[in-house]
Structure 1
Amino acid sequence: MDWTLEVVIVPVRDLDAAIAFYRDQVGFDLDHDTTNEHMHVAQLTPRGSGCSIVVGDLPAQRAMEPGSLHGIQLVVADAEAARAELVGRGVECSEIQVIDPRDGGTFFGFSDLDGNSWAVQELKVRADRPLIAHEARGRFGEDLEH
């Protein structure tokens, strides 16, 4: 049986500011921004990922303190290029740290406007073997080749 992690709820204070940060500065795709009389929620997905984040005002999101989520991990093929891209978009990032010289041992981090923290791990193997082939997947992960 496959078990897939598809959504992580990120607690934020200001939904519109969080959407702008994750979409415009971090570069996530905005999948949807839904507002009605009962809620306002948005789902954003890192390019190449099968897992999205959701920000909003649903009960599960209100149960967590904004800024209380730490250690969410993203993976990139080139940490130096990824860090430069984020810094170029105005995101404050830690310096790159090599914890282990083998592939997977290089990291840097950043936080969102509320203090939710992210770790970015370099796995050079992702350049040749992405988890999700970019040309074979649509925005919501549907298979486009069949």
Structure 2
Amino acid sequence: MDLKLEVIVIPVSDVPRAKAFYEKAGFRLDIEAKPSEDWHCIQFTPPGSECSIIFGKGMTTAEPGSFQGIYLVVPDIEAARAELVERGIDVSEVFHDGAGVFLHGHGKGDFTYPPGFAGKESGRHPDRTDYGSFATFTDPDGNGWVLQEVRKRLPGR
């Protein structure tokens, strides 16, 4: 069976504000439909992605800003961060996982580690290990995005 992740529905409180943010971030507007006052759907696709995001009015009952750890894989973390910053997006400094464990998101854009682990360290991973360098940003509602540098993907990806 071949399953492709196509769309993620994210919760937002202000549809026009979210639309302006994702346009500024360089996401491609695919569709906007508003057949009634109770339903407004906007779909954007991040550059180079096969998976899109949808948000709007009547799209989800999830709390705005409650989605954390939405990963965007990039081949060059510094270049991706610089482009977003140039577009006016507030992006964290690049950091790496000093403990070598998977990041855990707890709250609006805050990534923490299990007790006893070293946690995040400033800068790109010293060995530039794939899946090892990160930067984060949030949309206006606090939905948390993670840039992750991957130059060579795991087999089967």
2:32 and 2:152 map into 1 onto residues whose CA distance is 33
Q: Choose from 84, 87, 91 the match for 2:85.
A: 87
1:114 aligns with 2:113: no
- Letter of the aligned partner of 1:86 in structure 2? L
Q: TM-score, normalised by structure 2?
A: 0.74
1:35 aligns with 2:34: yes
Aligned to 2:65: 67
Q: 1:1-146 to 2 correspondence within 5 Å? A: 1-24=1-24, 26-37=25-36, 38-58=38-58, 60-61=59-60, 63-99=61-97, 100=125, 101=127, 102-125=129-152
- Letter of the aligned partner of 1:85 in structure 2? E
- Letter of the aligned partner of 2:64 in structure 1? P
Percent identity of equivalent pairs: 48
For the aligned residue pairs, the C-alpha RMSD in angstroms reads 1.5
Q: Which runs of 5+ in 1 are unaligned?
A: 132-146
- Letter of the aligned partner of 1:78 in structure 2? D
Q: Which has the higher strand share?
A: 2
- Aligned residue pairs total 124
Q: Which runs of 5+ in 2 are unaligned?
A: 98-124
- Letter of the aligned partner of 2:71 in structure 1? Q
Structure 1 residue 36: Cα displacement: 1.2
2:90 and 2:48 map into 1 onto residues whose CA distance is 23
Aligned to 1:144: none
Give structure 1 regions of 4+ aligned residues with deviation exceeding 6 angstroms: none
Aligned to 2:107: none
